[in-house]
Structure 1
Amino acid sequence: MERRLPRLPAQRGRGRLLAARHRLHPDEGSLPAPIRRVSPPVLRFAPSPNGRLHRGHAYSALLNAALAARLGGRLLLRIEDIDPVRSRPDLAAAIEADLAWLGLRFDGPVRRQSEHLPEYRADLAALAARGLAYPCFCSRSAIAAAAVSAAPADHGQDPVRRDPDGTPLYPGTCRHLAATEVAARQAMGTPHTWRLDMARALREPARAGEPGAYAYLAFDSQGAVRTVPADPARWGDAVIARRDVPTSYHLAVVHDDAAQGVTHVVRGQDLEAATDLHLLLQRLLGLPSPRYHHHALIRDPAGEKLAKSKGSQSLQDLRAEGVTPAAIRAQLGFPVPGVA
């Protein structure tokens, strides 16, 4: 027997239901000219195989597919598996199975980030050669301790300066290490990340035809395009390569979007702040900047966003309970194929 899903809880902020049809994906009608102006349109869905997909992923994937169809564009699938510990082949296979079960079809071959590490290493080397990236040998605990000691004593309950993800801003401990010291530590095999030298990066001149200030084009749920100011500096000297791989999410995603010709990025609001840093990396690497839409997040009855780390109910769990793809589409506000 088919199981019916309950309505989604009201979303914070606007007090409306995400179960209501999203204005970007009705089947009929063309999108406003400013969105259609980029040609040929290419969108992508890019999950990480470190857990099972849940309804939040389903919403984002379905939204990307619906918008690609309305634009007359292509929809690509990318598996973001740079994490050598948490990413697993069985979870990557499960992602593709879940998306096929939802009725989604993708254009072209699947791009797997683990197969493109030399490309990211080349980007990192290019930034380092220009003095825009440097190795950092600090541990997380040392960074946190330095951030606390540098914070003013009378600056509220949490005086530590943090980036948009809540991580203490790096105090620049390794930024000015002597070249001989860096070489010696690397020769000893001392683990290290690579960080972007934010101050130097922001002094880089804009490319021809680009504004001096940082901003990107975003399209909203009404289909209108607007210019959004960006503030990369709030990320500080962000990590752009991990200890175990020659890249990070931020560096890999901007490289991949350019390599795949992505013109429209549709992703959750939890990644909206990251767009500031991505815009900076795109400019530094001479890459094009897509247009962005950051959609509202699917939340549980308590108002918390669904997340793999919290053990949110997966699509596999729902499927085992008899929930159909049509039921999930209906709950998320998407049209069910073949149903008027």
Structure 2
Amino acid sequence: MTFRTRFAPSPTGPLHLGHAYSAILAHDMARAAQGQFLLRIEDIDRDRAKPEWEALIFEDLSWLGLTWDEPPIRQSDRRDSYEAALDALWARGLLYPCSCTRRDIAEALTAPQEGSAPPIGPDGPVYPGTCRNRPRKGPRPRDAHLRLDMGAALAAIGPTAPRFTETGPDHAGTIFTAPENYLGGIGDIVLARRDFGTSYHLSVVLDDAAQHITDVTRGADLFEATRIHALLQRLLDLPTPSYHHHRLIRDETGKRLAKRDDARAIRLYRAEGVTPEDIRRRIGL
């Protein structure tokens, strides 16, 4: 099987050194394996995604010397796929509408157990199930968030725990997640947002399958979310790639870089006369 990996930036700001590390590492791994490196533009956030940021992504990656082996795909062109998956999950009774705000969830989690911190999952505080008993019949609602009923999802996949293969530096091996950890440590995650029409978790597993990705290369901050992705792949009968969660590039204080860290934006290094080889040295590649 041909090694296929991808870099999947969001066009919501300039690429920084952390993006450079992830993109170059994925590109180098693909070339070393005589495989393929693909590009995906994750632009489901239509309010923040801008054409000028997308254009800068292409400029920065080309300046770094990276090439991709197929035309890039955009999530904004794949809404029909997300809608079809949501319809299928809704028809199986695995989704329910939720109207809770973040404040509602915080109050529900803290009120009955004062003094103890609520459990935190890959998406933040684990949802307490406030809306779980809302009706699930009729057409899939478009005016509410849709949550995955985690208990029903686990029942649907049967007794074999979801698993994935990890090749990164911190968790190499086969990773299993017990049902109790899904229920207590992850909970009923949002799979469709009223404003986006989908969610990162749903779109990423569908997009990786559509691009025939065999090896996902991404930051260690997404390791825990991969437990969700392995479950969704089982529910949707999609292949589970291997995963490589790499180290994060941090600033002098140890804080992970974000797009607001414009001082480390690749475009500024380019303007200062820094070379792609200099960038590789700065990020340890």
TM-score (norm 2): 0.92
Distance in structure 1 (CA, Å) of the matches to 2:118 and 2:15: 34
Q: What is the DSSP-based 3-state SS (H/G/I as helix, E as strand, rest coil) of the residue aligned with 1:75?
A: strand
2:164 is equivalent to residue 216 of structure 1:
yes
Alignment check: 8 A CA contact 2:169 2:245 kept? no
Distance in structure 1 (CA, Å) of the matches to 2:198 and 2:23: 25
The superposition leaves residues 257-285 of structure 1 with CA deviations (integer Å, 9 ceiling, x where unpaired) of: 00110000111000000000000000000
Q: What is the DSSP-based 3-state SS (H/G/I as helix, E as strand, rest coil) of the residue aligned with 2:120?
A: coil
Matching residue within 153, 171, 183 for 2:128: 171
Counterpart position of 2:147: 195
Q: Any stretches of 5+ residues in structure 1 without a counterpart?
A: 1-38, 335-340
Task: Give the partner amino acid of 2:228.
Answer: L
2:93 is equivalent to residue 131 of structure 1:
yes
Distance in structure 1 (CA, Å) of the matches to 2:71 and 2:224: 29
Distance in structure 1 (CA, Å) of the matches to 2:168 and 2:101: 40
Q: What is the DSSP-based 3-state SS (H/G/I as helix, E as strand, rest coil) of the residue aligned with 1:266?
A: strand
Instruction: Quote how far apart the aligned CAs of 1:130 are.
Output: 0.4
Distance in structure 2 (CA, Å) of the matches to 1:153 and 1:110: 49
- Give the 3 Å change call, closer, same or farther, for CA 312–161 of structure 1 in structure 2: farther
Counterpart position of 1:162: 120
Alignment check: 8 A CA contact 1:133 1:196 kept? yes
Q: What is the DSSP-based 3-state SS (H/G/I as helix, E as strand, rest coil) of the residue aligned with 1:302?
A: coil
315-324 or 255-264, which moves further after superposition? Answer: 315-324
Distance in structure 2 (CA, Å) of the matches to 1:205 and 1:110: 33
Counterpart position of 2:269: 318
1:72-111 maps to which residues of 2 (within 5 A)? 72-111=34-73
The superposition leaves residues 227-280 of structure 1 with CA deviations (integer Å, 9 ceiling, x where unpaired) of: 112343322100111111221000000000001100001110000000000000
Larger Rg: 1
The structure whose RCO (Cα within 8 Å, separation 6+) is larger is 1
Counterpart position of 1:228: 175
Alignment check: 8 A CA contact 1:306 1:312 kept? no
The superposition leaves residues 288-332 of structure 1 with CA deviations (integer Å, 9 ceiling, x where unpaired) of: 000011101011111111111454520011112221111101222
Counterpart position of 1:332: 283
- Give the 3 Å change call, closer, same or farther, for CA 270–79 of structure 1 in structure 2: same
Distance in structure 2 (CA, Å) of the matches to 1:301 and 1:225: 28
TM-score (norm 1): 0.78
Number of matched residues? 281
The superposition leaves residues 111-147 of structure 1 with CA deviations (integer Å, 9 ceiling, x where unpaired) of: 1000101110110111111011111112222122111
Instruction: Quote how far apart the aligned CAs of 1:164 are.
Output: 2.9
Q: Any stretches of 5+ residues in structure 2 without a counterpart?
A: none
Counterpart position of 2:207: 256
2:197 is equivalent to residue 246 of structure 1:
yes
Alignment check: 8 A CA contact 2:108 2:128 kept? yes
Q: What is the DSSP-based 3-state SS (H/G/I as helix, E as strand, rest coil) of the residue aligned with 2:157?
A: coil
Q: What is the DSSP-based 3-state SS (H/G/I as helix, E as strand, rest coil) of the residue aligned with 1:308?
A: coil
Q: What is the DSSP-based 3-state SS (H/G/I as helix, E as strand, rest coil) of the residue aligned with 2:5?
A: strand
Instruction: Quote how far apart the aligned CAs of 1:221 are.
Output: 4.5
Instruction: Quote how far apart the aligned CAs of 1:214 are.
Output: 2.2
Distance in structure 1 (CA, Å) of the matches to 2:187 and 2:136: 22
Instruction: Quote how far apart the aligned CAs of 1:219 are.
Output: 1.4
Counterpart position of 1:52: 14
276-285 or 236-245, which moves further after superposition? Answer: 236-245
Alignment check: 8 A CA contact 1:195 1:239 kept? yes
Moved over 3 A (4+): 309-312
- Give the 3 Å change call, closer, same or farther, for CA 256–179 of structure 1 in structure 2: closer
- Give the 3 Å change call, closer, same or farther, for CA 267–153 of structure 1 in structure 2: same
RMSD over aligned CA atoms reads: 2.1
Distance in structure 2 (CA, Å) of the matches to 1:227 and 1:200: 25
Q: What is the DSSP-based 3-state SS (H/G/I as helix, E as strand, rest coil) of the residue aligned with 2:76?
A: helix
Q: What is the DSSP-based 3-state SS (H/G/I as helix, E as strand, rest coil) of the residue aligned with 1:135?
A: strand
- Give the 3 Å change call, closer, same or farther, for CA 122–262 of structure 1 in structure 2: same
Alignment check: 8 A CA contact 2:96 2:135 kept? no
Q: What is the DSSP-based 3-state SS (H/G/I as helix, E as strand, rest coil) of the residue aligned with 1:204?
A: helix
- Give the 3 Å change call, closer, same or farther, for CA 296–225 of structure 1 in structure 2: closer
